[in-house]
C-alpha cells in the first residue's frame, strides 16, 4: 500500500464535524456488525492538539470474524481495506492510501486494544501537559520520518506506553 507523507497541522474544530458526519454514514452502512460504540480517537479527537489531518474512527464490533462481511460493505462505501494488524482489527482508509481523510478501525468492543485507545485519548483530553508533550513528539517525529509512516507510528509507542502505565 502506498503511503501518504506525514504532515502535522494545527488543530481544527472542523475535525469534530467531519467525525460526526462519518459516524452517521457508518451507522447506516455497518449497523448489522456494530457492537458497542463509534468513537473519535487519535489526535484529531483532542481539542487544541495538532495532528495529521486524518480522522481516526474506532468502531466496536462483536468479533473480527463476525464483522468480516462489513469489509465488503465499507469498500462499497468508499473505504480502502488493508490487512494491517489483522489479528486485532480490520483497518481501512478513505478515500485512497495516498490521500487520506479518514482511518477506520473495526475493533472488538472492550478488547484490550479498545480500552487502551480510549484510555490514551482520554488522558490527552484531560491532561494538557501530556497533550503538549505528545504534540511536541509528533512534530519532531514527523520532521524526522515524514516519508516513513510505520517508523513515525512505532516511535510514538514508548510515549503512549508510558502514559498508559503512569496515568491509567
pLDDT band at 98 (very low <50, low <70, confident <90, very high): confident
pLDDT given at position 149: 85
- Show the domain range for 63: 13-166
The tens digit of pLDDT for each residue in 30-80 reads: 999 999 999 999 999 999 999 999 999 999 999 999 999 999 999 999 999
Residue 8 domain-assigned (yes or no): no
pLDDT given at position 73: 97
Residue 63 domain-assigned (yes or no): yes
pLDDT given at position 17: 98
pLDDT value at 96 more than 60: yes
pLDDT value at 91 more than 70: yes
pLDDT given at position 2: 52
Residue 2 domain-assigned (yes or no): no
Which residues, at least 6 apart from 5, have a Cβ–Cβ distance to it below 8 Å?
A: 146, 147
Mapping DSSP onto H, E and C, the string for 78-107 reads CCEEECCCCCCCEEEEEECCCCEEEEEEEE
Residue 7 domain-assigned (yes or no): no
Angle at 15 between CA 133 and CA 155, to 5 degrees: 35
| Better pLDDT: 147 or 46 | 46
pTM comes to 0.93
Helix (H, G, I), strand (E, B) or coil at 50: coil
Task: List the CATH number of the domain containing 17.
Answer: 3.30.460.10
pLDDT value at 1 more than 90: no
Residue 5 domain-assigned (yes or no): no
pLDDT value at 3 more than 80: no
Residue 101 domain-assigned (yes or no): yes
Of 104-113, 121-130, 148-157, where does mean pLDDT reach its minimum?
Answer: 148-157
pLDDT given at position 49: 98
pLDDT value at 92 more than 80: yes
Looking at the structure of the chain, the number of domains it has is 1
Residue 127 domain-assigned (yes or no): yes
Phi and psi at 78, nearest 5°, equal 100, 5
Amino acid at each position: 500500500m502506498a503511503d501518504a507523507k506525514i504532515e502535522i497541522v494545527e488543530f481544527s474544530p472542523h475535525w469534530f464535524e467531519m467525525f460526526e458526519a462519518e459516524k452517521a454514514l457508518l451507522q447506516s452502512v455497518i449497523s448489522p456488525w456494530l457492537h458497542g460504540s463509534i468513537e473519535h480517537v487519535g489526535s484529531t479527537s483532542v481539542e487544541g492538539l495538532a495532528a495529521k489531518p486524518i480522522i481516526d474512527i474506532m468502531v466496536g464490533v462483536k468479533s473480527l470474524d463476525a464483522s468480516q462481511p462489513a469489509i465488503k460493505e465499507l469498500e462499497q462505501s468508499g473505504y480502502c481495506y488493508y490487512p494491517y494488524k489483522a489479528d486485532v482489527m480490520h483497518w481501512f482508509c478513505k478515500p485512497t492510501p495516498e490521500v487520506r481523510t479518514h482511518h477506520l478501525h473495526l475493533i472488538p468492543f472492550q478488547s484490550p486494544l479498545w480500552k487502551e485507545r480510549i484510555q490514551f485519548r482520554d488522558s490527552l483530553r484531560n491532561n494538557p501537559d501530556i497533550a503538549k508533550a505528545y504534540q511536541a513528539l509528533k512534530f519532531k517525529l514527523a520532521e524526522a520520518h515524514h516519508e516513513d509512516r510505520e517508523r513515525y507510528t512505532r516511535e510514538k509507542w514508548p510515549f503512549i506506553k508510558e502514559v498508559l502505565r503512569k496515568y491509567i
